[in-house]
Amino acid sequence: MAKSIKEQLIRELAAGKFVSGQLIGESLGISRAAVSKQIASLNEIGFDIFSVTGKGYRLAQPIALVDKTKVLAALSTKALASKVEVHCLIDSTNNFLLRRLPDHIKQGQVCIAEHQSAGRGRRGKEWVSPFGSHVYMSMYWYLEQGMSAAMGLSVVAAIAISDAIESLYQIKVQLKWPNDIYINEKKLAGILIDLEGQALEPSHCVIGLGVNVSMPEQASSKIDQPWTDLQTHVSTPVDRNILIAEIISKLTERLHEHQEHGIVKMLDQWFKLDLYLNKPVKLVAGEKVTYGLCRGINTQGALLLEVERQIKPVYGGEVSLRKC
């Protein structure tokens, strides 16, 4: 009930006009005091709402909410089969799709959210998710060949985001193994892949993507690494509907390519965009730090790390790659 009230308030406020606390309370069947409490909870998740006696509540700046109809209208032919859901408030787009397994989900199903209360990055880190500012989305993909087919999926997703951004904005990004997208050595986007199933049986995969579009100043203080957003590099306002549709379309195309050929045909593009290619790096795994040279990735999506003139593959896990 509280969630639906919040979502109704958000829709009423999004246009940037005054909303009467009394009228909205009557329409929702709650008291003005309850409306005031809900407004306070929205401010806690990043809204900037002020009130004027006799007029009601208003957002300091209007918000262009993601519009499912516009997203669907902009999808490529191959991506039209996707089932797209848009939520105002959610714990995590990955978690939402995982809860649908195994019978209430279809290939290519997409969950998009305006805000995540429990957005996740790799290694248990929080993914900062200010409302209505970025792209938070996840796609479900069935792996008929089992978990072995999941090798390289973070590469597939990174290449797809690269495809979308170059197609729309003519910007070449940088790719950082295993799951980050950068512009000018500052983080723009991240990928989180969740797998469920047995090693030698068909498995379920959820690919989560977070892309910084227009970072609010108050949210940036919570991020502990250099970051950037798309709007900084694009001269016209970024339309999130168009961006989301392009990411869905490119990701669908790349996943079909992966089904047929693995990542073999994507390697050239990765090597052109690899942030650390042929540069000194350190690989951090818990308290263990390994120094070497980044030599790109192999056909399974593993990092190729040269240590003492020997190149060894690193197959992901709880590791972090950093420049020296």
Residue 123: predicted pLDDT = 55
Which residues are within 8 A (CB) of 284 and not within 5 positions of it... i.e. 6 or more apart?
319, 320, 321, 322
Domain with 143, as residue range(s), is 68-271
Residues 260, 201 share a domain: yes
Where is 314: in which H helix or E strand?
A: strand 310-314
Q: Is 266 helix (H, G, I), strand (E, B) or coil?
A: helix
Phi-psi region of 132 (alpha: psi -120 to 50; beta: other; left: phi over 0): left
Residues 296, 230 share a domain: no
Query: Is residue 31 a known part of a binding site?
Result: no
- Cβ 46 vs Cβ 220: under 8 Å: no
Residue 158: predicted pLDDT = 98
Q: What are 133's two structure tokens?
A: 């500012």
Residue 165: predicted pLDDT = 98
The total number of structural domains in the chain stands at 3
Residue 24: predicted pLDDT = 85
Residues 238, 115 share a domain: yes
Residue 122: predicted pLDDT = 61
User: What is d(CA 143, CA 36) in angstroms, rounded to the nearest whole number?
Assistant: 47
Averages of pLDDT over runs of 10 residues in the chain (324 residues) are 80 89 86 90 86 91 93 92 91 96 93 90 70 95 87 95 98 96 96 88 94 85 85 97 98 96 96 97 93 96 96 88 91
Phi, psi of 143 (to 5 degrees): -105, 95
Residue 111: predicted pLDDT = 98
Task: Walk across the sheet containing 320-323 and list its strands.
Answer: 310-314, 303-307, 288-297, 280-285, 320-323
Which residues are within 8 A (CB) of 29 and not within 5 positions of it... i.e. 6 or more apart?
none
Residues 31, 117 share a domain: no
Residues 28, 171 share a domain: no
Query: Is residue 187 a known part of a binding site?
Result: yes
Residue 74: predicted pLDDT = 96
This prediction's pTM: 0.93
Q: Which residues are catalytic?
A: 122, 187, 322
Per-residue b or e along 145-155, where b marks 16 or more CB atoms closer than 10 Å to that residue's CB: eebebbbbbbb
Residues 103, 90 share a domain: yes
Query: Is residue 116 a known part of a binding site?
Result: yes
Residues 176, 122 share a domain: yes
Residue 232: predicted pLDDT = 97
Query: Is residue 58 a known part of a binding site?
Result: no
Residue 156: predicted pLDDT = 97
Residues 309, 213 share a domain: no
Query: Is residue 77 a known part of a binding site?
Result: no
What is the CATH number for 99? 3.30.930.10
Residue 26: predicted pLDDT = 86
Residues 171, 88 share a domain: yes
Query: Is residue 231 a known part of a binding site?
Result: no
